[in-house]
Amino acid sequence: MARMHSRKKGKSGSHKPMTKQKSNWIRYSDKEIEMLISKLAKKDKTASEIGIILRDVYGVPDVKMLTKKSITKIMKEKNLGKELPEDLIALMRKLVAIKAHLNNNKQDMSAKRGHQLTESKIKRLIKYYKESERIPVAWKYDPTKLKMYTE
């Protein structure tokens, strides 16, 4: 998939396991995996952090293959999800860091450009999430209250 603000293609990243069936070395059932997800979500872990912990500590290669549901769907069923999606919060944290940098370095034009690009990504993502009803339509993005969203 092409990158948003550059002309590069960018294909690096982790890959899913090749087999689509449960291996015999996996010792957790789907109910146990759901219990682990809810336990980790109660400790304020995000969905991606939960996936990494399940992979590295518990040896679960793919939650969706085993439970037929994604981690975020399991969290939503148990009412453990956040109000805002995880990627939107990550972009807001990035914007807070860029703003702090720009306060100290007012002449940094590349950081100013990064601020503009990140702001536009956030607005585009909010528009998408409102259309797909993952956040309420009445929810308003306020750049002055960014720290409140990220905490």
Query: Whole-angstrom Cα distance, residue 84 to residue 148?
Result: 12
Single out the residue of 32, 11, 22 nearest to residue 61, CA to CA: 22
Per-residue pLDDT of the chain (151 residues; tens, 9 = 90+): 467 777 777 777 777 767 777 777 888 888 999 999 999 999 989 999 999 999 999 988 889 888 999 999 999 999 988 888 999 999 999 999 999 999 999 999 999 999 999 999 999 999 999 999 999 999 999 888 888 877 6
What pLDDT was estimated at residue 2? 60
Handedness of CA 90, 84, 42, 63 (dihedral sign): negative
What pLDDT was estimated at residue 1? 45
What pLDDT was estimated at residue 83? 85
Written as six digits, the tokens of 67 are 């439970």
Which residues contact residue 85 at a Cβ distance below 8 angstroms, ignoring those fewer than 6 apart? 125, 129, 134, 135
59: left (phi over 0), alpha (psi -120 to 50) or beta: left
Type of residue numbered 105: N
What pLDDT was estimated at residue 40? 94
Query: Whole-angstrom Cα distance, residue 76 to residue 60?
Result: 20
Residue 104 contacts residue 68 (beta carbons within 8 Å) = no
Q: Looking at domain 86-150, what is its CATH homologous superfamily?
A: S15/NS1, RNA-binding (1.10.287.10)
Compute the C-alpha angle 106/108/109, nearest 5°: 115
What pLDDT was estimated at residue 32? 93
Residue 9 contacts residue 3 (beta carbons within 8 Å) = yes
Written as six digits, the tokens of 108 are 């940094």
Query: Whole-angstrom Cα distance, residue 6 to residue 43?
Result: 37
